[in-house]
Every structure is written in structure tokens, then in C-alpha cells.
Amino acid sequence: MLREINFDGIIGPSHNYAGLSHGNLAATRNAGKTSRPRAAALQGIAKMRANLDLGLVQGILLPHPRPDHHWLTRLAADYESASAVLKAQALSASAMWAANAATVSPAPDTRDGRCHLTVANLLTMPHRSHEWATTLAQLRIAFADPAFIVHPPVPAPFGDEGAANHMRLCHAHDHPGVEVFVYGESGGPFPARQHREACETVARTHRLHPDRVLFARQSDAAIAAGAFHNDVVAVANERVLFAHEQAFADRDTLYADLRALMPDVEIVEVPAARVSLEDAITSYLFNAQLVTSPGGEPTLILPQEARDNAAVWSWLQDHVAGNGPIRRLEVVNVRESMANGGGPACLRLRVVADPATIDPRFLVDHVGLDRIAAVVEANWPEAIDPTDIGNPALIAQVEKARLALLEALDCLILAKG
């Protein structure tokens, strides 16, 4: 039985606001503020609980070892003597945003009938460029069953940011789908992190049917406004594409191609006259989880910031009242993640698979989440001030906290990354 499973990244104990992500306006705006790693992780756990209550299948990905001493060693450095910038880059908890972990093509879409995952290289940003090795190790454990193939990252120089720039539309999750890869072009004030060459490489690697794959360019206006990934301005689920009017460079061609491949596609476009790009990006309206409940009801899981934005909430209320394709709105509090530039959709990687083929340590129910929450409450730092980043006591606490979680989840095999 194929089900869509949302694998959420558990927010790690080193969660802090170092402002390392150029083009991510929230991360830049909050640089230097005091973070709350314990509250952040508990907010993420509460979001997973809400997903379970909706009847969804929930998975987890685990925090990476931080600081990343292996990466620093390759730079001929160590944490104690490294520059402040290197310290921050080695300590980053950005692997919490599991939407950047990999690109996933379910078995119904591939020529060999297996689910393919390609780990993202994330090479555009130094603090994320060293995530892929630990992510690859986790995915190869979680998806060791022959139903899956887990691929290493696309080689440099082609940047790949994973599922945050990938959408899949289908009649139902267990039916063949149309996969849409979204890329950017350089030249604006912020880097275009996803290269078309990386998209094409992933599509070939996953053995996708070429006539069921589309490549769409993200609009320059969206990137310049702070949409550093496509999932900040567009999200898809089953037959519904939910996008801002200014998300794509050539939306008319994309929509026409989608309708030709999938005549029953429902395109929900939010006009700029109702919701500006600025409002869409600051509220993370599109960085919501668009899911289908077991009862078949298309549901949008939104951050609190979307309800707080008058223009965004007004449009959503009108859409639901007008019997639009999205029938239900669920609001969650992920303010700590939002302050670093990641909403509900950033925190999860979608995998369509039979849950029985997945290592059970990476699937959770309420009891499993209770166990994780207890570890977080006992071990995660309550706060990290920017001046704490070089503090040996903080580093010891961060490393001890992650080890406690791995031990509680019987995942000590990942203790060294």
C-alpha cells in the first residue's frame, strides 16, 4: 500500500540565528537574535502530532552532528581556533529543513518501478554544503529496502536544493504522476540555487519517463523578492497546483503543458492584486503542507504567520468559502523555524511508499513523539545567544543532547554522522 509519508527534520539542539543564508530574508532579518532550540524542537513535534491527528503517516529525520568537526578538519581547522564565520557554518542546524534533504520520485513514476531518492548537494551555501554526507547515511538506513534506490548528490558545479524545487502532480499518490522541476537563472540580487542541469540530472538518474517531466523556470521577481526556493511561492499535491501569480517565468506555458498531460489538474493561482509577493513570502503562504486527509479532503497546513497577515487570510477565507479545491485550513505554530526562514513545508520531505518497507525507527506515532519530546525537554538548550556560539559549554551540551536522542531512538549507528 503506497502512502504519502511526511518525514520531518527534528530541529537540532544547535538551532541559532547566525544569518548565514543570503537571499533568505527572514534569516537575514533575524541574524544575531537569541534562538530557543528547545521551543523550536517542541514546536516541530507539535506539528507532527497535528499531522498524525489528521490521519497522515509521519516520519522523522535526525539532527546532524554539530559542530561538524569532519568538515572543519577537511578545511584544516578545528572548532576552537576557527574564525567566527566558520564556527557558525559548522554549527548550523539547517538540516532540520528536510525539504532540502533530497528529491524523491515514487515508484509509479519510474521506469524500474522503484522509488528513487537523490540527496541534494546544497552547494550554494557553505553552511549547508556539508549536510549531504550525513543525510545520505540516514536515507540509506531508512530506505534500505529493495523498493528504494538512494543516490549520491549531483556533482558540482550544478546546485541542487532537493524537493524544495520539485513538485509532483497525480490523480492519487499511488498513480503515475507528472514531475515538475523548478530552476532559477543567475543575475539577480540573490543567488539562484537550483540549476537546470541539476534538475535534468536527477530526472535521468530517477529513470523518469521523459514525456511525464516538466522543467519550469522560477521567475526573477520571485527570487529577488526572497523566494530562495520554489516552495516559497508554489506547492502541489495530487491534482492541485497552488501557486502565486508571479511564481514562474512563463506560467502560461507551464499551465498549458500541465493541462495537456493531466487534463483534470486544478490550478489555484493567487493573484498579485490580492496577495503581493512580499506578503506571500513573509507569511509563507505557499510554504505550507498541502496534503490529502484519509477522507480525501485537500488540506493546507499553514504557519501562524499566514493567519496573522490580513491579505493572505482574507484570500484563504474567500477560497474556502467559494468551494475552491483546498477545503480545509490547519494553522500551526513554527515561529522559531519561521524566524530562520523555514515554514511547515521546509520541515518535511515527502515520500510516497509502503510504510512497511521503511526502517521503523524513522516512523513515529504519538508514543514515539512523546519519547522524542522527553529527550528534547531534558537536553536541548533553552536559548542560544550569538555570543554563545564559541562557548565550549554550549558545544558540549549540543553534542550530548544529540547523543541522548540517538540512544533513545536506537540510532547510535549515526553517532559519528
Q: Which domains does the chain have, with CATH numbers?
A: 3-414 (3.75.10.20)
Nearest to residue 230, comparing CAs of 92, 348, 346, 60? Answer: 346
Of residues 206, 229, 244, 319, which has the active-site annotation? 229
Quick one: pLDDT at residue 228? Answer: 87
Reported as a single tens digit per residue, the pLDDT across 176-210 is: 999 999 999 877 788 889 999 999 999 999 999 99
Residues in the chain: 417
The residues with which 148 forms a beta bridge, in sequence order, are 115
Quick one: pLDDT at residue 190? Answer: 80
Quick one: pLDDT at residue 19? Answer: 76
Q: Is 166 a catalytic residue?
A: no
Of residues 115, 199, 346, 411, which has the active-site annotation? 346
Q: Is 4 a catalytic residue?
A: no
Of residues 131, 161, 238, 305, which has the active-site annotation? 161
Which residues are within 8 A (CB) of 94 and not within 5 positions of it... i.e. 6 or more apart? 20, 21, 100, 127, 128, 131, 340
Quick one: pLDDT at residue 26? Answer: 66
Q: Where does residue 294 rank: exposed (0-12), middle (13-18), buried (19+ CB within 10 A)?
A: exposed
Give dist(CA 277, CA 25) in Å, integer: 13
Give dist(CA 60, CA 126) in Å, integer: 25
Give dist(CA 312, CA 229) in Å, integer: 20
Looking up cell 530541529 gives 11
Q: Is 229 a catalytic residue?
A: yes
Reported as a single tens digit per residue, the pLDDT across 95-150 is: 999 999 999 999 999 999 999 999 999 999 999 999 999 999 999 999 999 999 99
Print pLDDT tens along the chain (417 aa). Answer: 899 999 999 999 999 998 787 777 667 787 788 999 999 999 999 999 999 999 999 999 999 999 999 999 999 999 999 999 999 999 999 999 999 999 999 999 999 999 999 999 999 999 999 999 999 999 999 999 999 999 999 999 999 999 999 999 999 999 999 999 999 987 778 888 999 999 999 999 999 999 999 999 999 999 999 998 999 999 999 999 999 999 999 999 999 999 999 999 999 999 999 999 999 999 999 999 999 999 999 999 999 999 999 999 999 999 999 999 999 999 999 999 988 888 999 999 999 999 999 999 999 999 999 999 999 999 999 999 988 988 999 999 999 999 999 999 999 888 876
